[in-house]
Amino acid sequence: MDFKQWRHIFKLDPEKDIDDRSLEAICESGTDAIVIGGTEGISFDNTIELMSRVRRFPLPCILEVSTMEAVVPGFDFYFVPLVVNAQDPKWIFGQHVEGLVEYGPFVKWEEVALEGYIVLNPSAKVAELTKSKIETSSQEIKAYARLVDQMLKLPILYLEYSGAYGDPQLVRDAKSVLKQSRLFYGGGIQNVEQAREMGAIADTIIVGNVIYENLSMALKTVSAVKED
């Protein structure tokens, strides 16, 4: 799965309803991939149901694993977040070890990539859940970026502003020290200008909420980053 070429991803939340026409528009928008993931209300049933609906379209469908209950086989690929600024150790390695106890022997490692997550919106559910220590100074962001890129050598650094538009300067700071990790930016992209702005700094932008709030605007974020 060559996510290193992707510029745009739509993230669908299994807890939220999406009708067939909207789903078709999202899947045929020209986006590079669909990621299924969310923070609350994620179950095996709602995840497999959404996966099978996305599966009718010829684009990669990835599960972002956030809970053990919803580890569903049959995705093209799996992103596993490692929340590097979580203060609850469960979200650093606790859950991962629990998952490996159960599924370790069955994992196809060529279908898995770890995402070094930095949670940056203090009001996001994910910040509360993981008890993330929110850092907004350039020095600390660079330190986390180096941790993910150089110390841990993870393939992806994910700046997660979920629900709020981030600070482009901090995204630039993180990008400036990366040597090999791909930079994913997600959070609060609501229009073409924001998609362009973050897309010019990050390697890949992730667009979530606006799908459910303003579908036509969501669709326009694709060409905003893919026409370059």
Q: How many residues bind ligand 1GP (CB under 6 A)?
A: 13
Q: For tokens 């997550």, name the residue.
A: 117
The answer to whether 189 contacts ligand 1GP (rule: CB under 6 A) is yes
DSSP string, 118-146: EE--TTSHHHHHHTB----SHHHHHHHHH
Q: Out of 120, 186, 194, 195, point to the residue binding ligand 1GP (CB under 6 A).
A: 186
Nearest partner of 67 among 35, 107, 38, judged by Cα = 38
The answer to whether 163 contacts ligand 1GP (rule: CB under 6 A) is yes
Torsion of CA 42, 85, 182, 16, to 10 degrees: 20
| Whole-number Cα distances in Å, 52 to 39, 56, 82, 197 | 20, 7, 26, 33
The answer to whether 219 contacts ligand 1GP (rule: CB under 6 A) is no
Least Å distance, CB 97 to ligand 1GP, is 23
The smaller minimum CB distance to ligand 1GP, of residues 150 and 163, is found at 163
Only segment of 19-27, 171-179, 206-214, 220-228 that touches ligand 1GP (CB under 6 A): 206-214
Only segment of 78-86, 136-144, 183-191, 194-202 that touches ligand 1GP (CB under 6 A): 183-191
The smaller minimum CB distance to ligand 1GP, of residues 150 and 226, is found at 226
Nearest partner of 218 among 227, 205, 203, judged by Cα = 205
Q: Out of 51, 207, 222, 224, point to the residue binding ligand 1GP (CB under 6 A).
A: 207
Draw the binding track, 5-24, toward ligand 1GP (x: CB under 6 A; -: no contact): ------x-------------
Q: Which parts of 79-228 fold into alpha helices (H)?
A: 94-103, 125-130, 138-146, 168-177, 192-201, 210-213, 215-226
The smaller minimum CB distance to ligand 1GP, of residues 27 and 120, is found at 120
CB 221 within 8 A of CB 192: yes
Under the rule (CB under 6 A), what is the footprint of ligand 1GP? 11, 160, 162-163, 186-189, 206-210
